[in-house]
Amino acid sequence: MTAEAKQQERQPIPLVEWVKPYTGSLILGLLCIVVVVTVDVSLPFLFGDFLIDGVLITQANYELLHWITIGGILLFLIKGLFVYGQVYFMAYVGQKVVYDLRSKMYRHLLEMPLGQHVRHKSGSLVSRMTSDIGVIQNAVTAGLTDLVLHSLSLTLIILMLFVLNWRLALISMVILPLAYIAVKGYGGRVRRFSARLQERIAGMTATLQESLEGIRVIKAFRMESERRRRFQEDNDLSFGASMKSVQAMATVTPVVELILVTGMLGVLWFGARSVLEGRMTPGGLVAFLGYLGMITRPVSYLTRSLNLLQQARAAAERVTALLQAPREDVTGGETRLERVEGRVTFERVTFSYIPGKPVLKDVTLEALPGETIALIGPSGAGKSTLVNLIPRFYRPDSGRILIDGVDIQTLDLDSLRRMIGLVPQETLLFGMSIAENIAAGRTWITPERIREAAELANAHEFITNLPNGYETVIGERGATLSGGQRQRIAIARAVAGDPRILILDEATSALDAESEAIVRDALMRATSNRTTFVIAHRLSTILGASKIVVLDQGRIVEVGTHEELMERGRLYPQLYRRQFGQDGAVLSTGLASGEA
């Protein structure tokens, strides 16, 4: 075992920390458990000592028989009330723990930096929010309850065994260490298999999510067979890991029960001889055997609860690992620019996703207020990376990025991103109303401003023709709208906050001619009087740009207008002829596809 693994073994289960805020409810639940266990443990003594010895054998005591009957009914009535309390309070604690964890995990997912999301499969993150949380909930509501209830039951049962006959109790105790060894031996295996199972489920969830998100591509390229094969592989691995865990759990229960039953039969043999020899009453033997028989239930449930807690520990470690993942660094200054002109300056900026492998190298660039900067270059040149540094999605390794002469690292993050509008290439809308999509959680954006943004984006007319206008709830990812309509809503969303800087990754290449013309007009209106960075996919973008910046292998190699670069440029004329024909049609998708 490695030092890291040993340290992990010594760490307390985080379940304890998560339950702490609800100690009051937990104590009430535990008190209910104490009453329930006390009633259960009193029954063998009540019926063995009082009923058999006091009524049936010693004398026909009808009055005592009546009181035993009434007492039994009252005991079960009391037990029923406290069982309700036990279930309610323990379930309350479990549900609150899950509620807190879900809220905390979701908040943490939103606060994780963009790079963390890129490195983690979304399906794996979803699995931790669903499958792992479900395991933890089961452990708190069922596992913890069983652990306390049956631990207390087992303790009281053993105590009563020694009270009734200490010799037989000593004989009985031989079997408990054997049961403990069996439980401990299989517990570690269950935890390992459970951790492996959760990993397999996460992989399967990731494949499922990829398939659902990419269903159009799957159908277009007839990838159904490949996707089925990949999902089947994940499903097989999940099934194998699940059966390993089930096998370990299924083995430990009968092994423990076999040990207990064998011991019980041995006690029966010695106890019967004690009664025949007059050293023990028949009622005492019946009570003793009743208590001994009751041992099987708490031991069996303790085995199950320990298995649940082992599974929960593996799930809790995965959840904790996610919660300990770094958050987006929002630290910096508290500077807020009173008036933003929109001058953006890159000063010798170098950035790398992987240490030692820079994606941008010593980039120096200035965009004056109102200028449109078209970024062009081969796939992987660093165009998307460059624009992602402006809203501080990533921090440069060296160099500075300034807005109106102020280093963006010294700006308040909310203030910085408020001055920037983003229209991504893949338009993502949320399953809520169009007005809510345009406002994008910015409560300060009024309905009037939403309408103005929609008009500027050429979206107002088609929105008002929808059944509920701006309150129309669109389908998941905007599936109920056309590509051009989604793109125009994305433009309205970008300009609704009246940003001074726009970042556009043009997505008109996937639109029909009519939609493209409308979206292009919307883009031209949106960029008016704003500093705009555009990852160029179309000839019109290049020709209309104030500057064309050519990147290659993370460096700016050429800057100028279209005419200047066609005349004196080296790389630009090659890229231009490769990507654009003389009539402006896209001849190659090499530049329109994604990049670093």
Q: How far is CA 61 from the centre of its chain?
A: 65
Q: pLDDT value at position 2?
A: 41
User: Is the predicted pLDDT of residue 23 greater than 80, yes or no?
Assistant: yes
Question: Which pLDDT band holds residue 432 (cuts at 50, 70, 90)?
Answer: confident
Domains in the chain, CATH or no CATH each? 3-199+243-323 (1.20.1560.10), 340-419+500-596 (3.40.50.300), 427-498 (3.40.50.300)
pLDDT of 595 reads: 40
Q: Are 36 and 83 in contact (CB under 8 A)?
A: yes
pLDDT tens by residue, 225-255 = 878 888 888 888 878 777 877 777 777 667 7
pLDDT at 303 over 80: no
Q: Which residue has the tokens 């060296």?
A: 398
Percent of the chain with pLDDT over 70: 78
- Per-residue pLDDT for 533 more than 70? yes
**pLDDT reported for residue 355:** 85
How far is the C-alpha of 181 from the C-alpha of 266, rounded, in Å? Answer: 20
CB 148 within 8 A of CB 299: no
Question: Do residues 308 and 142 lie in contact, with contact meaning Cβ atoms separated by under 8 Å?
Answer: yes
3-state helix, strand, coil in the chain (%, to 5): 65, 10, 25
pLDDT tops 70 at residue 459: yes
Q: What is the pLDDT of residues 252-278, one digit of tens each?
A: 667 777 776 777 777 777 777 777 777
Which 8-state DSSP code applies to residue 328? P
Mean predicted confidence (pLDDT) in 33-50: 75
Quick one: pLDDT at residue 260? 67
Taking 50 as the threshold, does the pLDDT of residue 498 lie above it? Answer: yes
Residues 6+ apart with CB under 8 A from 416: 391, 392, 403, 408
Q: Which of the residue ranges 193-197, 397-401, 511-515, 554-558 would you say has the lowest mean pLDDT?
A: 511-515
Confidence of residue 528 (pLDDT cuts 50, 70, 90): confident
Q: What is the reported pLDDT for 238?
A: 78
**In which element (H, E) is residue 53 found?**
none
* pLDDT top residue among 217 and 398: 398
Q: What is the pLDDT of residue 5?
A: 41
Q: Is the model's pLDDT at 55 over the cut of 60?
A: no
Q: Which of 12-16, 42-46, 422-426 has the lowest mean pLDDT?
A: 12-16
Q: What is the pLDDT averaged over residues 330-347?
A: 82
Spatial distance between the Cα atoms of 173 and 566, rounded to a whole number of angstroms: 93
Q: How far apart are CA 488 and CA 127, in angstroms?
A: 34
Q: Which residue has the tokens 């949380």?
A: 133
Q: What is the mean pLDDT of residues 460-488?
A: 83
